[in-house]
Amino acid sequence: MMKRISLITFLLTLLSLASFGQKYPKDWENPRMIERNKMEAHATLYPFQDVKTALTMERDNSQWYESLNGTWKFYFVPKAEGATTDFAKKGFDASAWDNISVPSSWEMKGYGTPIYTNITYPFPAKPPYILRDNPVGSYIRDFDVPDNWKDREVILHFGGVSSAMYVWVNGQKAGYSQGSRLPDEFDITDYIVPGKNRVAVQVYRWSDGSYLEDQDHWRMSGIHREVYLVAQPKVNIYDLAVRTDLDAAYKDAELQIRPRVKVPDDTDPKGWTFSAQLYNEQGNKVKNGEMSILVNHILHESVPQRDNVPFALLKTHITNPVKWSAENPYLYILVVTLKDADGNVVDATSTHVGFRKVEWNHGVFKVNGRPVKLYGVNRHDHSDVNGKAVTRKEMLDDILLMKRFNLNAVRTSHYPNDPYFYDMCDKYGIYVLDETDLETHGLTGYFTNNTSWTYAFVDRAVRMVERDKNHPAIIGWSLGNESGVGPNHAAMAGWIRSYDPARLIHYEGAQGDPASPDYVPVNSKDYWKRPYDANPTDRQWVDVISRMYPSPALLEGLAKSPWVHRPIVMCEYAHSMGNSTGDLKKYWEVIRSHPNLMGGFIWDWIDQGILEKDKDGKPYWAYGGDFGDKPNDGNFCINGIVAPDRTAKPALWECKHVFQPISVSPVDLKNFDFTVVNRQDFTGLEPYTLKWLLRENGVEVQHGIIPAPACAPGENARFHVPVDQDKLKKDAEYVLNISWDLAKKTLWADAGFEIAWNEFTLPGHKVKPAAVVSGKARATENGNHITLSGKNFTVVVDKAKGAVSSYKVNGKEQFVSPLKPDFWRVPTDNDLAGGNHIFRDMRVWKDAVAHMTLQSATIDENQSGVVCTYRLPVDASTLKVHYLVEENGTLQVSADVLKGDNAPDLPRFGFTVEVPGTLTETAYYGKGPWENYWDRKSGAKLALYKTPTSDLQYKYVRPQENGNRSDVRWFALAGKNGGLMVRGGAKVDFSVWPYTAPDLEQAKHIDEVQVRDFFTVHIDYKQLGVGGDDTWSAQAIAHPPYRLSAKSYQYSFTIRTVKSIAQAEKLY
């Protein structure tokens, strides 16, 4: 009876598949056809010829490995209808074809069009069909099979192909695969011959799999990850899974191993053994680190009826191993061998092992028993010259930058990365949230609720976990991004939970558990009325509560919710598009105040600009739409904290300071007593050198090194700084900087590299105000102009415009254009956010100065100044400007603005002027050296800086407001023939550009900004902060403390000529 039922089931299955095949005749438009002849997923392993070679962990040392990276023959057709398979036949002449490098994205090589779109599918959405031209690339590569590979299985490995591929070897079809971010492997043993062979590959740009790959990045095509061959014995170690289980004290460990051995049907493995040996990082054997098991015991493992099999086929007790963490990423090496009945090593391979335990209990995320915060970032694969084909050097550069800037975690948004990236995270110490290649943003939850797609959903999760399971850096698995929520996600989570219970499961979309007493349906009018993100309890098959872009207030509300009992993570926050990442420190004040807040992942790591040249050969970074790509989302891919060339943007310096693992605060600043808080999770302060430096008016006058106090992780300690107080002056400003530098060289930085710092302005010391050299000037009035003249100067004030139209000293004009009030700034990306109605309201200030009307103009009694009052065309607001000239020609400027009752916030309050381009050197005493803003200046140090004037700008990919310096006491611009010095009545902000504000505002790319022969100088009371909680809603605007919302503002400054920068320094 059972046989009969099985036969009926088999026949019904065949009929079903036949029917399905008729419905979807093309493999690449069939959601249930995701592979043909593709090998099962497994951990990244390489066969080695012996234990000694396996211990090196270098695949290039293996005689069983051969790279196929390099030059391939290539033929491109823009439509699938134009593609044939004739090229795959034996003897095909490809000599007339183009050459292309592999790996690469073919769009970066001039074939087809790169497309950047965020949500909208790049083709009309009618799954599973591709209703647009589907480009196809055909590849050919000849290779030689080494003589000693005879009688071995030869495996052809593709690390990643977008998005669907057929493979032939020597004219025989080897298989089909889709899924762009995971390996495709084919056993080609039966197709190869001794000597010369040929592999042919046909890649389709789009497939039904593309519906599951609707991520916010460049859509590119081709063989974008490495290709290689491995030769393994017929009986081989096919897979290896490793776990480390720490005891309750997190001291000793149990090393658990589960191998998978492949044995052909015609081979009897009787007497064959599988062995494992653990080595430390010096290559020495670890005590109790040797294990072995008969292969037959592996093959014939008993499987119970009402329980699952235990994970470990081999296990051993390891006494107090060095624990792996991001702070101390200690790696052991596990070498495993397969021996025949005579004891000969038939197969050998190796993997790194990190002893660590991930837990999430009582709402707290822990590693090795210690609460851990994630200072993370989202990272797309991107190269400004290679597209999606990221090189190993670029991957390592990313890791090094992350370590040097105090980041400790990465989310592989939104797909698995190349295995090398995980190797580097293991080695250098970066926690990883590994994400499934799954996003269906354009059709939301359609696919997760459709059984036709269940296989593809689960397959993508399974293959990711199987490949990456042995990396200690991976703390959790993410089920994808923005794909709705439904049973297909639950199926993914169910498989992962059973297969790997030692890591957490994450999915931001799993919001709303109807069983929760706090549940609110998403279509309810009350959904957005909560003091925290709605539905604070998520589906039970995720281990963390994940949210995108909550404000700090919403995040805190979520942390305090009585229904939340799981750790909370921001899988995306601090949208760093353009000039952004404001008030990051506020988020971390909240996060550090609540144990259940894990931290988060900034969006995102790198500006996804593509390096291009304009018609004049000037380089620029292109973004969506620049290639005629449709649909596109413009520059919405330019939101990294590093530039497309992997250099640090100003925001990254803010991250470094906010994320720093050591923080100092004063106990008694007058007596130089301090408290240090060690924010590290596993490390004391011993690896660091404690330095201090005292600056007088920005210049170093004292410094020293003192012993770092003993301070355990998470604890605090007191210390004293031995400043020589007898040398301090009453009439100078002093800033004490305390820093923590690496005492010894590490893998990622040299000794002396600064990790953390804090600075403190000493009380009781203050610079004397500049002496006013009073004296009588001669004032003459001529129409709209008032001229103030003295012994060696003339100042002309344009009453109608409120501007100084001329400033001459010793007969030389100092200005290129008038010094005039300014209320507008060139909008940032956050300012232009679609939902940012607050900034839209501010647009009334853009032309306020041009349209203001003079109410009064009076010359003061000593004939040295003029006071002008104006009515502004913004809700009856008024501006009063006072220009006063001292006897030595110093120009004093003071301004008062009084806003009308209903006037919106000011974008900026300041003055602007153009000065000669010959003033090529700048010095300033203020926050620096990098650009900083009102809400993004905690990572800048207060000091005296000197720089070429042209270097004060920062070139954002899409031109916008840039280059500000905050808390400036004075600045000077000078050239060979002298220059100008500006001193604030208190503190001012300033910026200098080699172009005008209209030049900047009109340009779409950096090469379009017209460089002038003068500099535009802004001298500001302040301007609006940069904001950036997101870049599409009202949350894009700066937080309220960093807006010019008050009723009135006043400030002042002076301008005078100087002979040199050196003279300016002496004048302060």
What positions carry a catalytic annotation? Answer: 482, 572
Q: Rounded to an integer, what distance in angstroms lies between the CA atom of residue 1036 and that of residue 923?
A: 33
Q: Rounded to an integer, what distance in angstroms lies between the CA atom of residue 328 and that of residue 196?
A: 47
Whether 348 and 54 have beta carbons less than 8 Å apart is answered as yes
Pairing of strands 688-696, 699-706: antiparallel
Residue 577 CA, chain-centre distance (Å), reads 11
Burial of 701 (0-12, 13-18, 19+ CB in 10 A): middle
Length in residues, the chain? 1068
Other CB atoms within 10 A of residue 896 CB: 16
Other CB atoms within 10 A of residue 239 CB: 20
Whether 953 and 1035 have beta carbons less than 8 Å apart is answered as no
**3-state secondary structure (DSSP) of residue 1049:** strand
Whether 764 and 730 have beta carbons less than 8 Å apart is answered as yes
Distance set, CA 586 to CA 583, 666, 719, 1039 (Å): 6, 20, 27, 10
Whether 116 and 153 have beta carbons less than 8 Å apart is answered as no
Beta partners for 974? 921, 979
Q: Rounded to an integer, what distance in angstroms lies between the CA atom of residue 959 and that of residue 953?
A: 11
604 upstream amide cis, omega within 30 of 0: yes
CA quadruple 651, 654, 659, 662: dihedral sign: positive
Q: Rounded to an integer, what distance in angstroms lies between the CA atom of residue 449 and that of residue 436?
A: 17
Beta partners for 377? 410, 602
What are the tokens at 426?
A: 């293991």
Q: Rounded to an integer, what distance in angstroms lies between the CA atom of residue 734 and that of residue 712?
A: 31
The angle at the Cα of 650, spanning 644 to 652, to the nearest 5 degrees, equals: 75
**3-state secondary structure (DSSP) of residue 365:** strand
Whether 370 and 682 have beta carbons less than 8 Å apart is answered as yes
DSSP state of 499: H
Pairing of strands 332-339, 273-279: antiparallel
Q: Rounded to an integer, what distance in angstroms lies between the CA atom of residue 338 and that of residue 342?
A: 11
Q: Crossing angle, helix 487-499 and helix 454-468, to 10 degrees? A: 30
